[in-house]
């Protein structure tokens, strides 16, 4: 079952993601003044409430701190790491579960892109001075594959496996685009917001590829 665990500091930031975490123990770095973004999210990615919620944590910083990380930046990086760590084991199952070249050609690049994003997110978190522990450990949030779901995937093959794969990959990509859109609009660390923009771009493209390969069910619940 998916749960939400609200706490004081990051509840506003991660409310749009369906979960909140324990507050970081490191001293929060000063925030940087954010330049407005001229472009809108592609294909309507992200929701107005998500952007509004995340912007509440991004307060202006003193002059000369444009390279600082805001609480919004750190929260998004932590969530990005946690989400990638949950979905990569799913993509790693594909070569052994199907010989369909279309699925292999989708899973391979998506997994490679996620690993690159994960490496960057971890590096930025190190630069920020945030705790290295995963604050989302044990949380089951939208877009995250649970332990039970991963067990079911590992025991499936053929079309049942592909159905579950499409379901979980779609949920992951949809949620990652949503929260990255909010980070891009409300974060203050330039390299982090640039990474968020890349996640939106790549995630939107991968969702389109997935929809062509496995059209979403009209009766499926929204992610």
For residues 184 and 189, what is the distance between their CA atoms, to the nearest angstrom?
10
For residues 69 and 220, what is the distance between their CA atoms, to the nearest angstrom?
37
Q: What confidence score (pLDDT) does residue 135 get?
A: 59
Q: Which of 52-56, 108-112, 116-120, 206-210 has the lowest mean pLDDT?
A: 52-56
Higher pLDDT, 4 or 135: 135
Q: Residue 212 has which token pair?
A: 């062509």
- Half-sphere exposure for 173 (CA within 13 Å, toward CB): 24
Q: What confidence score (pLDDT) does residue 84 get?
A: 95
| pLDDT (average), residues 100-118 | 96
For residues 193 and 201, what is the distance between their CA atoms, to the nearest angstrom?
12
pLDDT at residue 210 is higher than 80: yes
Query: Could you give the angle at the alpha carbon of 85 between the alpha carbons of 165 and 178, nearest 5°?
Result: 75
Q: What confidence score (pLDDT) does residue 139 get?
A: 56
pTM higher than 0.85: no
Q: Cβ distance 204 to 42 under 8 Å?
A: yes
Q: What confidence score (pLDDT) does residue 217 get?
A: 77
Q: pLDDT digit string (tens) for 145-184?
A: 899 999 999 999 999 999 999 999 999 999 999 999 999 9
Residue 156, number of CB atoms within 10 A of its CB: 16
The b-or-e profile of 112-146 (16+ CB within 10 A means b, else e) is: ebbeebbebbeebbeebebeeeebbeebbbbbbbe
């Amino acid at each position: 079952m998916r749960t939400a665990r609200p706490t004081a500091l990051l509840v506003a930031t991660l409310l749009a993601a369906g979960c909140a975490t324990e507050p970081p123990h490191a001293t929060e770095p000063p925030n940087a003044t954010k330049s407005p973004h001229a472009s809108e999210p592609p294909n309507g990615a992200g929701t107005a409430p998500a952007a509004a919620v995340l912007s509440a944590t991004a307060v202006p910083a003193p002059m000369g701190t444009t390279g600082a990380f805001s609480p919004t930046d750190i929260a998004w990086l932590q969530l990005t790491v946690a989400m990638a760590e949950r979905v990569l084991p799913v993509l790693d199952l594909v070569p052994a579960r199907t010989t369909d070249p279309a699925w292999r050609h989708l899973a391979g690049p998506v997994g490679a892109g996620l690993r690159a994003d994960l490496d960057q997110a971890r590096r930025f978190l190190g630069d920020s001075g945030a705790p290295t522990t995963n604050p989302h450990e044990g949380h089951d949030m939208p877009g995250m594959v649970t332990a039970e779901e991963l067990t079911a995937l590992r025991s499936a093959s053929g079309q049942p496996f592909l159905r579950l794969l499409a379901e979980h990959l779609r949920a992951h990509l949809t949620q990652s685009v949503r929260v990255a859109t909010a980070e891009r609009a409300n974060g203050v660390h330039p390299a982090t917001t640039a990474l968020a923009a890349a996640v939106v771009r790549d995630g939107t493209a991968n969702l389109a590829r997935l929809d062509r390969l496995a059209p979403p069910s009209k009766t499926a619940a929204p992610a």
